[in-house]
A and B are shown apart, each in its own frame.
Chain A
């Protein structure tokens, strides 16, 4: 693939390719994971609309689980906001690293902010893999097709999950909630290109339980990300210059 300049598609075809690629696996997988959020919203007595809107506008499985889980646990609104906000810190570095791929000449800040809403683990890891081989002018249309497909299908799934509350066996409910960590894991593994990537992943996975105990369940992820990520970055620099 390297060295071959990618063919340029029409905008419409690029959007369509994004839709098709999303439907091939990532969108159904994300949607199935967010199906599991429906019953959580139902359990705290929130209306169907709120369940679906949480998927469309929070658009972060773990954040939504923490949101409805926090309500169920009787946390104060401020406590819920804090817990959700801290679980979403990952979107800051993810959005920054996504920017070079979704920026284009003459783009308004509004468009870029809109595009940033789609950033999630799935779209970030799939995007870093799928966008670079595309012709630069096709990247934003492809991303728009891919992103909207994932969000719309997932919103629908959350609604279905809400309406199906209680009718699914416990094993299926567990399997649906397991999809998020599973898909995260496969996405991370697919993004491995260098030794330092493995170091970053291992650091994140093994430091997290330690940090959770030492620092507490709120700031643990932040500390793990900064320490592990920086160490991996330095390892990568050292290896490249050696």
Chain B
């Protein structure tokens, strides 16, 4: 099906932008009524950190597009290498990124 001129824009608005927007706006509306010293802030921070780790797991276990052509050991090994390099380099983000990509690309060329 070839989309007509407006269809992609309507789809973007209603199925992409709005479903994302509501959570940020909801956070503002809910968060404004909570005192800054409240332990609720601490709690949501932990929930967010957990969700974040969950998103990483989702992207690794269920990869999309070109990432799916890389062996699983390359994806998981890349993350492990990134963590190791990050901490061994004295918490340098770039060291983690480079190490992770090196392992990923190595696994791509070595293959299964």
Residues of A in contact with B (beta carbons under 8 Å apart): 25, 29, 36, 39-40, 45-47, 49-50, 53-54, 57-60, 62-65, 67, 69-71, 77-78, 80-82, 84-85, 87-100, 109, 112-113, 116-117, 119, 121, 124-125, 128, 170-171, 173-191, 196-197, 200-209, 211-212, 217, 220-221, 224-226, 228-230, 232-233, 236-237
Provide the residues of chain B in CB contact with A211, threshold 8 Å. Answer: 54
A178 engages B28 (CB within 8 Å) = no
Q: Can you sample 10 A-B contacts with CB below 8 Å?
A: A65-B65, A82-B19, A84-B15, A85-B20, A96-B27, A178-B101, A191-B49, A204-B53, A205-B54, A225-B54
How far, in whole Å, are A229 and B45 apart by their CA atoms in the complex? Answer: 8
When the two chains form the complex, which single residue of A60, A69, A229 contacts B43, counting CB atoms closer than 8 Å? Answer: A229
Mark contacts of B73-95 with chain A using CB atoms, 8 A cut-off: 1 yes-contact digit, 0 otherwise: 00100110011001100010110
Interface positions of B from 33 to 66, Cβ below 8 Å from A? 34, 36, 39-66
B67 engages A177 (CB within 8 Å) = yes
A184 engages B47 (CB within 8 Å) = no
How far, in whole Å, are A185 and B62 apart by their CA atoms in the complex? Answer: 16
Q: How many CB-defined contacts (below 8 Å) exist between A and B? A: 301
A89-B23, A179-B97, A182-B79 known; A230-B43 Cβ under 8 A:
yes
Interface range for B: 35 or more
Provide the residues of chain B in CB contact with A128, threshold 8 Å. Answer: 45
A234–chain B nearest beta-carbon distance, Å: 9
Provide the residues of chain A in CB contact with B57, threshold 8 Å. Answer: 204-206, 208-209
A93 engages B53 (CB within 8 Å) = no
Q: Give the residue name and chain of the A residue nearest to B37 (CB).
A: A100
Q: Give the residue name and chain of the A residue nearest to B34 (CB).
A: A96
B63–chain A nearest beta-carbon distance, Å: 7
Q: Give the residue name and chain of the A residue nearest to B109 (CB).
A: A171
Provide the residues of chain A in CB contact with B93, threshold 8 Å. Answer: 25, 183, 186-187, 190
A81 engages B15 (CB within 8 Å) = yes
B2–chain A nearest beta-carbon distance, Å: 6
A138–chain B nearest beta-carbon distance, Å: 18
Among the interface residues B45, B64, B79, B101, which one has the most CB atoms of the partner chain A within 10 A? B45
B24 engages A91 (CB within 8 Å) = yes
How far, in whole Å, are A163 and B30 apart by their CA atoms in the complex? Answer: 40
Provide the residues of chain B in CB contact with A233, threshold 8 Å. Answer: 42-43, 46-47
Lowest 9 CB-CB distances: which A-B pairs, in order? Answer: A95-B27, A204-B53, A229-B47, A85-B19, A173-B66, A208-B57, A228-B50, A93-B44, A225-B51
When the two chains form the complex, which single residue of B16, B23, B64, B91 contacts A177, counting CB atoms closer than 8 Å? Answer: B64
B41 engages A174 (CB within 8 Å) = no
A63-B20, A178-B75, A186-B93 known; A205-B56 Cβ under 8 A:
yes
A185–chain B nearest beta-carbon distance, Å: 5
Among the interface residues B16, B24, B96, which one has the most CB atoms of the partner chain A within 10 A? B16
Provide the residues of chain B in CB contact with A230, threshold 8 Å. Answer: 43, 46-47
B22 engages A208 (CB within 8 Å) = no
When the two chains form the complex, which single residue of A47, A116, A184, A205 contacts B27, counting CB atoms closer than 8 Å? Answer: A116
Q: Give the residue name and chain of the A residue nearest to B53 (CB).
A: A204
Q: Give the residue name and chain of the A residue nearest to B18 (CB).
A: A81
B78 engages A58 (CB within 8 Å) = no
When the two chains form the complex, which single residue of A100, A190, A209 contacts B41, counting CB atoms closer than 8 Å? Answer: A100
